[in-house]
């Protein structure tokens, strides 16, 4: 990773935090390319039984993109929030492609969903979850955001509170609501 | 934060009803379950769709179970970059480090009257389960107990709200050790000294049963005061026996985080780690500090190779050369040649792929570096000793013996260090081996050692001497054995004064350790006697030797070999003083005992036979002597080979007997063999050749082969001077040579030979009668040439010296001097002086008869 990129991402993060939406777009461009390339290789190489280390993945991107010590706390939180939404997109796309190819030619690719079923069965179908999230986003973007950060980004309550400039109790309360909402939605295929 | 997907239809419009339902749901969550229905009733009233929405949410919440509870993937929750801003009383500041197990932040404690800076380490490893966390707690307590000035102190620890374990430790404002060394431009010696401090800290942790397992520059900071501080016992594993196998926490499996550049092979392979694994990592570190680069083996490592159990390339470590190459561009502070010799050996030993081949402890590693700094031989070379010595011996045979000797001395040293390290019992056998090795060595390789000119050996022995004195203080029983061998070495070196000092030391130690009546003490007495004999202190020598012999004989079950040894020493002492009559009895006893009890060709047995031969010959039993010598020759050859000083000595004695018996041809052949043996052993210019050469010359003279005789004498004289022989070796052949020259009327050349030899010997005034006799002969030579004034002073001086000599000397020399004076005074017409000389001459004749 060129140093210029690292400096650039630091600048963009700061700009974004100050509310410059253009910075976010550029940041997205810059990070997403790398993240998706990395994720693709992870998803390809991960063998059955291995877990996908989102945290490790994001960290890796972050490490490559920034000079860590020059990025402030809040910027980091924002970065991870951003990365979480990228992960959502990458993982959902991956799941969608896997399902399509399974339906199509029956090739033995392993979709993320299956991957997790090997270990745990409490993960929903990612494609359906994504649809639910889109509707939740329309209802209440902050709730959807929270879910993305928590579920796709693996952020802790503290980290989310930091990124959203709110308290951990608020995060906890909203999380419960969002989870119930999504569960109800998926159970009956309609928003509650 | 959006995740628009252009493929999707626009979601339905945000509903007011939904938002209200969620607010009611959230409120309901705040109250107890009994209160919930009432709250929903009141909030929804008769809005049935609203009520339904709220109830769906409540139902969902009740049924959701673990839905979405775990993030999509495990471990993500422990993102190392987003710690809570505060842990306990510590406000976290910027990140200051990162390792396999976690991240370190600078923390400030500001809730007290004073501000305190700390380092807070969050342990965020995915494999960290509940058990591991518990173990970490135990470990933390042990680490907190590590109290060492060069180990960062642990203050506190716990688990964050998110369940991330953390440790609070001393904040070190320092630089990684490699950076520090380069920035400060530290010279080699100071780097090693700094490194030894690190070793001391690691050793301390080892003593507390803590292995670091992740030693690398970023974990070893150096403060502005120049003191190292060890951090991050992050993956330290306890050596505690009470943790059952297979349950040693996150430590013993392949998932263990490690730093490939510094990890030991066993760490890569996920094998059990021990303190010796730290030795390896320290070896890598030392290599880095000394050359600016990590060793080859490390740089070549590819992570993919880790699964392959045999990936570890041994070539750079195990090859004799080239294991420790420096950077090609020369940018490193130290050129690679600095890592030759001791340092190379030390680093190599630390980097051996097999743990058991490395230094057995960090302390030992550090000790070896200390020895290097102080100029002592290092332990790291121990393993190569026999190999190298054997190789040298095979390649160069005896000419390289001196180098061999220094290795032998090293073996003593190595042994002494091994015993120091407390491995005494297992080294017991080794001791016997070392001592046996020495004996063998001195038998085979003494020629060059006799010369006593090899400085390397001298230095090696001297160094060991000091070390043994100080290093073996608590091991008298080992010390005495080594001191005894050392005394032997010094005697073989011709350093009789030092041989005396060390043998006396051995004597005192033996008295102290095993007591006065022991066999060891008796042998020490004999050894002291031998040293005294070499120093010419015959009375003291005799006292010690006889006392030792007596004690040996008084032993309840004396070892025959030691008895023969003692007797041999006594016989040799008596022969030195030409007290052959007194030597008769002990030499016979020694030989008989040897024949009866010892192996036929053991060293002591052969010496007894040779001694007996010499005594018999001097006592006029030439035939019997001849029989002994001839009988001894074959076993001597068998034991020592065909070219060895001991064999040559037997041959020299044989030739004397042949000559005395008038068997001149046999004498000549024998001497010729001696000469060729010496040539092979010592080379062209060695003073040992003077004896057979002048012997051959005098044989030639007796056979009237004057031309050969002159040529042989000339060669003998030349060799004597060229080899800087002791004066005794110069004077005798010079005199015989000159006499032959005079008798063939070659006075001028004779004069030159005599003057040269006197000139050569002038630095040694205590040459006694031989020097005086050469003076007399030169005087005679000058008379013949008419240089009367100088002749007179030489003749008178020669006589005065011989008359005043307290030495036994050769009375015939005094006779000859007086005869010359009588002749000289007569020729000069000085009657009074002539008369006086004649009277003196008659007086001697009377005494003689």
Q: Does position B186 have pLDDT exceeding 90, yes or no?
A: no
Distance from CA of A66 to the nearest CA of B (A): 12
- All residues of chain B having their beta carbon less than 8 Å from the beta carbon of residue A123 are 70, 72
- Residue of chain A whose alpha carbon sits nearest to that of B77: A154
Percent of chain B topping pLDDT 70: 67
- Residue of chain B whose alpha carbon sits nearest to that of A186: B60
A138, B5: Cβ pair inside 8 Å? no
- Residue of chain B whose alpha carbon sits nearest to that of A82: B1
Residues B391-422 have pLDDT tens digits of 333 333 333 344 444 445 555 555 554 544 44
Tokens of B752: 């030159």
- All residues of chain B having their beta carbon less than 8 Å from the beta carbon of residue A145 are 1
Tokens of B134: 């518990």
d(C-alpha B416, C-alpha B646), whole Å: 31
H/E element, B210 = strand B210-211
| Residue B675: count of CB within 10 angstroms of its CB | 21
Helix orientation angle between B48-63 and A168-188, rounded to the nearest 10 degrees:
100
Distance of CA B581 to the CA centre of its chain: 47
- What is the reported pLDDT for A67? 46
pLDDT band at B847 (very low <50, low <70, confident <90, very high): low
A155, B74: Cβ pair inside 8 Å? no
pLDDT band at A47 (very low <50, low <70, confident <90, very high): very low
Mean pLDDT of B799-812: 71
A138, B11: Cβ pair inside 8 Å? yes
Return the biggest CA–CA distance within chain A: 50
pLDDT band at B816 (very low <50, low <70, confident <90, very high): confident
Mean pLDDT of A155-182: 86
- What is the reported pLDDT for B9? 43
Average pLDDT taken over every residue of chain B: 73
Q: Shortest CA distance to B700 belongs to which of B685, B715, B687?
A: B715
Q: Shortest CA distance to B629 belongs to which of B596, B654, B600?
A: B654
Q: Does position B196 have pLDDT exceeding 90, yes or no?
A: yes
- What is the reported pLDDT for B403? 43
3-state DSSP assignment of residue B762? coil
Which of B17, B81, B122 should be substituted to probe chain A, the one whose Cβ sees the most A Cβ atoms within 10 Å? B81
Q: Does position A102 have pLDDT exceeding 80, yes or no?
A: no
- Residue of chain A whose alpha carbon sits nearest to that of B6: A134
A183, B64: Cβ pair inside 8 Å? yes
- All residues of chain B having their beta carbon less than 8 Å from the beta carbon of residue A140 are 14, 18-19, 22
Cβ neighbours of residue B44 closer than 8 Å, sequence gap 6 or more: B24, B50, B51, B54
A151, B81: Cβ pair inside 8 Å? no
Task: Name the residue with higher pLDDT: B233 or B622.
Answer: B622
Task: Name the residue with higher pLDDT: B366 or B261.
Answer: B366
- All residues of chain A having their beta carbon less than 8 Å from the beta carbon of residue B68 are 124, 147, 150-151, 179, 182-183
- Residue of chain B whose alpha carbon sits nearest to that of A156: B77
Q: Does position B333 have pLDDT exceeding 50, yes or no?
A: no
- All residues of chain A having their beta carbon less than 8 Å from the beta carbon of residue B8 are 131, 134
For β-strands B220-223 and B228-230, DSSP reports them as antiparallel
Backbone angles phi, psi at A47, to 5 degrees: -90, 160
- Residue of chain A whose alpha carbon sits nearest to that of B15: A139
Mean pLDDT of B531-537: 83
Residue B214 is a catalytic residue: yes
Most confident of A115-129, B455-469, B566-580: B566-580
Q: Shortest CA distance to B403 belongs to which of B445, B449, B457, B464?
A: B457
B576 by Cβ neighbours in 10 Å (0-12 / 13-18 / 19+) ranks as middle
- What is the reported pLDDT for A108? 34
Task: Name the residue with higher pLDDT: B549 or B641.
Answer: B549
d(C-alpha B812, C-alpha B422), whole Å: 64
- What is the reported pLDDT for B583? 94
pLDDT band at B198 (very low <50, low <70, confident <90, very high): very high
d(C-alpha B460, C-alpha A9), whole Å: 64
- Name the pTM for this structure: 0.40
- All residues of chain B having their beta carbon less than 8 Å from the beta carbon of residue A192 are 18, 21, 53, 56-57, 60
Q: Is B163 left (phi over 0), alpha (psi -120 to 50) or beta?
A: left
pLDDT band at B383 (very low <50, low <70, confident <90, very high): very low
Distance from CA of B276 to the nearest CA of A (A): 32
Task: Name the residue with higher pLDDT: B683 or B752.
Answer: B752
- What is the reported pLDDT for B194? 94
Q: Which residue's entry shows tokens 């010419």?
A: B536
d(C-alpha B70, C-alpha B441), whole Å: 75
Most confident of A117-126, A130-139, B454-463: A130-139
A91, B82: Cβ pair inside 8 Å? no
- DSSP code of residue B791: H
Residues B209-221 have pLDDT tens digits of 777 777 888 889 9
- What is the reported pLDDT for B134? 62
B75, A76: Cβ pair inside 8 Å? no
- What is the reported pLDDT for B144? 74
B64, A188: Cβ pair inside 8 Å? no
What's the helix, strand, coil split of chain A in %, to 5? 80, 0, 20
Task: Name the residue with higher pLDDT: A103 or B51.
Answer: B51
A54 by Cβ neighbours in 10 Å (0-12 / 13-18 / 19+) ranks as buried
- What is the reported pLDDT for B475? 59
3-state DSSP assignment of residue B738? helix
Task: Name the residue with higher pLDDT: B769 or B651.
Answer: B651
Which of A56, A139, A167, A189 should be substituted to probe chain B, the one whose Cβ sees the most B Cβ atoms within 10 Å? A139
Q: Which long-range contacts (CB under 8 A, 24 or more apart) does A60-64 make?
A: A61/A31, A61/A34, A61/A35, A62/B81, A64/A1, A64/A34
Q: Shortest CA distance to B619 belongs to which of B662, B655, B571, B664?
A: B571
- Residue of chain A whose alpha carbon sits nearest to that of B81: A76
B3, A182: Cβ pair inside 8 Å? no
Residues B691-738 have pLDDT tens digits of 899 999 999 998 889 999 999 999 998 888 787 776 777 888 888 899
Q: Shortest CA distance to B824 belongs to which of B834, B832, B814, B813?
A: B834
Mean pLDDT of B607-633: 88
- All residues of chain A having their beta carbon less than 8 Å from the beta carbon of residue B66 are 122
Which of A183, A187, A188, A190 should be substituted to probe chain B, the one whose Cβ sees the most B Cβ atoms within 10 Å? A183
Query: Who among A68, A87, A177 is closest to B22 (CB)?
Result: A177
- What is the reported pLDDT for B258? 57
Task: Name the residue with higher pLDDT: A94 or B11.
Answer: A94
Distance from CA of B288 to the nearest CA of A (A): 26
- All residues of chain A having their beta carbon less than 8 Å from the beta carbon of residue B60 are 179-181, 183-184, 187, 192
Mean pLDDT of B110-135: 64
B5, A140: Cβ pair inside 8 Å? no
- Residue of chain A whose alpha carbon sits nearest to that of B70: A151
Average pLDDT taken over every residue of chain A: 68
Task: Name the residue with higher pLDDT: B128 or B23.
Answer: B23
B76, A131: Cβ pair inside 8 Å? no
Q: Does position B298 have pLDDT exceeding 60, yes or no?
A: no
CB B12 within 8 A of CB A135: yes
d(C-alpha B230, C-alpha B228), whole Å: 7
A54, B60: Cβ pair inside 8 Å? no
Distance from CA of B24 to the nearest CA of A (A): 10
Query: Who among B18, B71, B85 is closest to A73 (CB)?
Result: B85
**Angle CA B609–B611–B616, to nearest 5:** 95
**Angle CA B447–B448–B450, to nearest 5:** 65
Query: Who among B14, B61, B80 is closest to A138 (CB)?
Result: B14
3-state DSSP assignment of residue B86? strand
- What is the reported pLDDT for B420? 44
CB B70 within 8 A of CB A122: yes
Q: Which residue's entry shows tokens 């030795």?
A: B279
3-state DSSP assignment of residue B287? helix
- What is the reported pLDDT for B228? 93
d(C-alpha B187, C-alpha B282), whole Å: 19
A176, B11: Cβ pair inside 8 Å? no
Task: Name the residue with higher pLDDT: B639 or A103.
Answer: B639
Backbone angles phi, psi at B121, to 5 degrees: -110, 125
A183, B13: Cβ pair inside 8 Å? no
- All residues of chain B having their beta carbon less than 8 Å from the beta carbon of residue A89 are 3, 5
End-to-end CA distance of chain A: 46
Query: Who among A58, A145, A151 is closest to B68 (CB)?
Result: A151
3-state DSSP assignment of residue B97? strand
Of A34-43, A165-174, B679-688, the least confident: A34-43
Q: Which long-range contacts (CB under 8 A, 24 or more apart) does B503-507 make?
A: B503/B527, B503/B528, B503/B530, B503/B531, B504/B528, B506/B480
Percent of chain B topping pLDDT 90: 16
Q: Shortest CA distance to B339 belongs to which of B331, B330, B348?
A: B348
Of B226-230, B244-248, B570-574, B662-666, the least confident: B244-248
B15, A53: Cβ pair inside 8 Å? no
What interface predicted TM-score (ipTM) does this complex get?
0.76
Distance from CA of A93 to the nearest CA of B (A): 10
Listing DSSP states for B560-585 in one string gives: HHHHHHHHHHHHHHHHHTT-HHHHHH
For β-strands B220-223 and B154-159, DSSP reports them as unpaired
Helices (H), B683-746: 690-702, 706-722, 727-743
d(C-alpha B643, C-alpha B673), whole Å: 9
Mean pLDDT of A2-22: 68
Catalytic one of B214, B278, B488, B584: B214
B228-230 sheet: strands from edge to edge: B174-176, B220-223, B228-230
pLDDT band at B117 (very low <50, low <70, confident <90, very high): confident
Q: Does position A182 have pLDDT exceeding 90, yes or no?
A: yes
CB B415 within 8 A of CB B431: yes
3-state DSSP assignment of residue A15? helix
Backbone angles phi, psi at B228, to 5 degrees: -75, 150
pLDDT band at B389 (very low <50, low <70, confident <90, very high): very low
- What is the reported pLDDT for B768? 63
Tokens of A118: 């090997």
- Residue of chain A whose alpha carbon sits nearest to that of B84: A158
Q: Tell me the torsion sign for CA atoms B727, B733, B736, B741.
A: negative
Q: Does position B1 have pLDDT exceeding 50, yes or no?
A: no
Q: Give the E-state strand segments of chain A in sequence order.
A: none
B116-123 sheet: strands from edge to edge: B86-87, B90-98, B102-109, B116-123, B165-170, B154-159
Tokens of A91: 């993982």
- Residue of chain A whose alpha carbon sits nearest to that of B98: A68
- DSSP code of residue B175: E
d(C-alpha A131, C-alpha A128), whole Å: 5
Residues B124-177 have pLDDT tens digits of 654 445 555 666 666 677 677 777 888 888 887 777 766 677 888 888 888 899
Q: Does position B477 have pLDDT exceeding 60, yes or no?
A: yes
- All residues of chain B having their beta carbon less than 8 Å from the beta carbon of residue A125 are none
Tokens of B737: 């040579």
- All residues of chain B having their beta carbon less than 8 Å from the beta carbon of residue A51 are 73-75
d(C-alpha B271, C-alpha B478), whole Å: 38
Number of residue pairs across A and B with CB atoms under 8 Å?
177
Distance from CA of B72 to the nearest CA of A (A): 5
B79, A188: Cβ pair inside 8 Å? no
Q: What is the 3-state secondary structure (H, E, C) of B798-840?
A: HHHHHHHCCCCCCHHHHHHHHHHHHHHHHHHCCHHHHHHHHHH
Residues B244-270 have pLDDT tens digits of 334 333 333 333 445 667 878 877 776
- All residues of chain A having their beta carbon less than 8 Å from the beta carbon of residue B53 are 192
H/E element, B196 = helix B188-207
Encode A126-136: b = buried (16+ Cβ within 10 Å), e = exposed.
Answer: bbebbbbbbbb
3-state DSSP assignment of residue B74? coil
Mean pLDDT of B353-377: 80
B80, A59: Cβ pair inside 8 Å? yes
Torsion angle of the four alpha carbons B514, B516, B521, B525, in this order, in degrees rounded to the nearest 10:
160
């Amino acid at each position: 990773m060129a140093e210029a990129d690292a400096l650039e991402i630091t600048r963009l993060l700061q700009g974004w935090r100050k509310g410059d939406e253009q910075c976010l777009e550029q940041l997205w461009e810059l990070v997403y390319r790398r993240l998706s390339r990395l994720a693709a290789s992870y998803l390809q190489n991960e063998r059955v039984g291995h877990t996908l280390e989102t945290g490790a993945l994001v960290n890796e991107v972050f490490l490559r993109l920034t000079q860590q010590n020059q990025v402030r706390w809040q910027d980091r939180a924002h970065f991870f929030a951003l990365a979480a939404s990228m992960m959502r997109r990458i993982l959902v796309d991956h799941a969608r492609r896997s399902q399509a190819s399974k339906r199509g030619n029956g090739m033995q690719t392993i979709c993320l969903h299956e991957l997790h079923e090997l270990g745990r069965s409490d993960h929903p179908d990612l494609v359906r979850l994504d649809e639910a999230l889109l509707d939740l986003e329309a209802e209440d973007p902050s709730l959807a955001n929270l879910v993305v950060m928590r579920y796709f980004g693996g952020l802790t309550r503290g980290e989310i509170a930091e990124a959203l400039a709110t308290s951990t109790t608020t995060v906890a309360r909203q999380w419960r609501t969002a989870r119930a909402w999504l569960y109800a939605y998926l159970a009956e295929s309609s928003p509650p | 934060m959006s995740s628009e997907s252009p493929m999707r239809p626009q979601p339905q419009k945000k509903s007011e009803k939904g938002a209200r339902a969620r607010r009611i749901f959230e409120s309901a969550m705040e109250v107890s379950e009994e209160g919930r229905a009432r709250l929903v009733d009141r909030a929804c009233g008769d809005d049935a769709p609203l009520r339904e929405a709220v109830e769906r949410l409540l139902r969902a919440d009740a049924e959701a179970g673990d839905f979405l509870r775990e993030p999509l993937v495990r471990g993500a929750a422990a993102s190392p970059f987003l710690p809570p801003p505060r842990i306990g009383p510590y406000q976290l500041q910027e990140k200051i480090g990162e390792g396999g197990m976690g991240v370190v932040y600078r923390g400030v404690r500001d809730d007290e009257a004073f501000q305190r800076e700390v380092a807070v380490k969050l342990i965020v490893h995915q494999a960290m389960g509940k058990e591991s966390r518990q173990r970490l707690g135990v470990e933390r307590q042990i680490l907190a107990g590590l109290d060492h000035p060069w180990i960062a102190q642990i203050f506190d620890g716990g688990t964050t709200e998110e369940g991330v374990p953390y440790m609070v430790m001393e904040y070190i404002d320092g630089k990684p050790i490699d950076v520090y060394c380069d920035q400060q431009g530290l010279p080699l010696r100071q780097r090693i000294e700094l490194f030894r401090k690190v070793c001391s800290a690691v050793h301390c942790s080892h003593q507390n049963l803590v292995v670091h397992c992740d030693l690398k520059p970023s974990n070893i900071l150096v403060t502005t005061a120049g003191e190292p501080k060890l951090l991050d016992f992050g993956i330290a594993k306890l050596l505690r026996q009470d943790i059952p196998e297979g349950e040693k926490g996150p430590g013993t499996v392949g998932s263990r985080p490690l730093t490939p550049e510094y990890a030991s092979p066993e760490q890569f392979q996920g094998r059990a780690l021990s303190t010796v694994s730290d030795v390896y990592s320290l070896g890598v570190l030392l290599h880095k500090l000394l050359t600016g680069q990590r060793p080859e083996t490390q740089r070549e490592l590819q992570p993919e190779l880790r699964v392959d159990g045999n990936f570890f390339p041994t070539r750079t470590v195990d090859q004799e050369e080239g294991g420790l190459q420096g950077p090609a561009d020369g940018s490193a502070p130290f050129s690679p040649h600095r890592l030759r010799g001791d340092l190379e050996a030390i680093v190599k030993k630390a980097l051996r792929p097999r743990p058991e081949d490395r230094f057995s402890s960090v302390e030992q590693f550090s000790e070896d570096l200390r020895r290097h700094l102080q100029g002592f031989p290092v332990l790291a070379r121990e393993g190569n000793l026999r190999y190298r010595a054997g190789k040298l011996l095979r390649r160069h045979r005896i000419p390289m013996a001196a180098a061999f000797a220094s290795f032998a001395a090293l073996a003593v040293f190595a042994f002494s260090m091994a015993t120091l390290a407390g491995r005494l019992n297992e080294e017991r056998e080794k001791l016997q081996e070392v001592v046996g090795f020495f004996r063998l060595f001195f038998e085979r390789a003494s020629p060059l050692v006799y010369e006593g000119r090899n400085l390397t050996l001298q230095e090696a022995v001297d160094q060991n001497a000091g070390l043994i004195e100080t290093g073996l203080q608590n091991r008298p029983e080992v010390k005495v054995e080594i001191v005894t061998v050392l005394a032997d070495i010094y005697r073989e070196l011709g350093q009789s004064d030092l041989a005396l000092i060390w043998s006396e030391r051995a004597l005192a130690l033996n008295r102290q350790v095993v007591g006065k009546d022991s066999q060891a003490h008796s042998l020490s007495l004999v050894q002291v006697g031998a040293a005294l004999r070499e120093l010419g202190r015959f009375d003291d020598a005799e006292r010690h030797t006889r006392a030792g012999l007596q004690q040996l004989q008084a032993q309840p079950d004396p070892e025959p070999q030691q008895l023969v040894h003692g007797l041999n020493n006594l016989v040799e002492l008596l022969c030195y003083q030409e007290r052959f009559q007194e030597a008769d009895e002990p030499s016979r006893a020694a030989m008989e005992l040897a024949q009866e009890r010892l192996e036929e060709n053991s060293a002591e047995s052969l010496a007894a036979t040779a001694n007996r031969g010499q005594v018999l010959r001097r006592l006029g039993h030439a035939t019997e002597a001849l029989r002994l010598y001839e009988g001894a020759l074959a076993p001597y050859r068998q034991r020592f080979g065909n070219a060895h000083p001991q064999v040559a000595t037997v041959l020299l004695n044989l030739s004397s007997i042949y000559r005395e018996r008038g068997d001149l041809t046999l004498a000549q052949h024998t001497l010729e063999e001696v000469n060729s043996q010496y040539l092979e052993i010592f080379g062209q210019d060695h003073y040992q050749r003077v004896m057979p050469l002048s012997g051959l010359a005098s044989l030639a003279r007796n056979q009237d082969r004057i031309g050969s005789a002159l040529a042989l004498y000339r060669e003998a004289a030349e060799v004597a001077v060229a080899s800087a022989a002791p004066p005794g070796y110069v004077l005798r052949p010079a005199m015989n040579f000159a006499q032959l020259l005079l008798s063939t009327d070659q006075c001028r050349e004779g004069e030159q030979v005599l003057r040269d030899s006197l000139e050569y010997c002038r630095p040694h005034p205590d040459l006694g009668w031989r020097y005086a006799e050469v003076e007399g002969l030169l005087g005679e030579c000058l008379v013949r040439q008419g240089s009367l004034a100088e002749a007179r002073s030489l003749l008178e001086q020669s006589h005065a010296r011989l008359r005043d000599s307290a030495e036994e000397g050769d009375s015939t020399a005094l006779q000859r001097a007086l005869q010359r004076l009588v002749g000289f005074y007569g020729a000069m017409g000085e009657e009074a002086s002539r008369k006086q000389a004649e009277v003196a001459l008659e007086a001697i004749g009377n005494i003689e008869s």
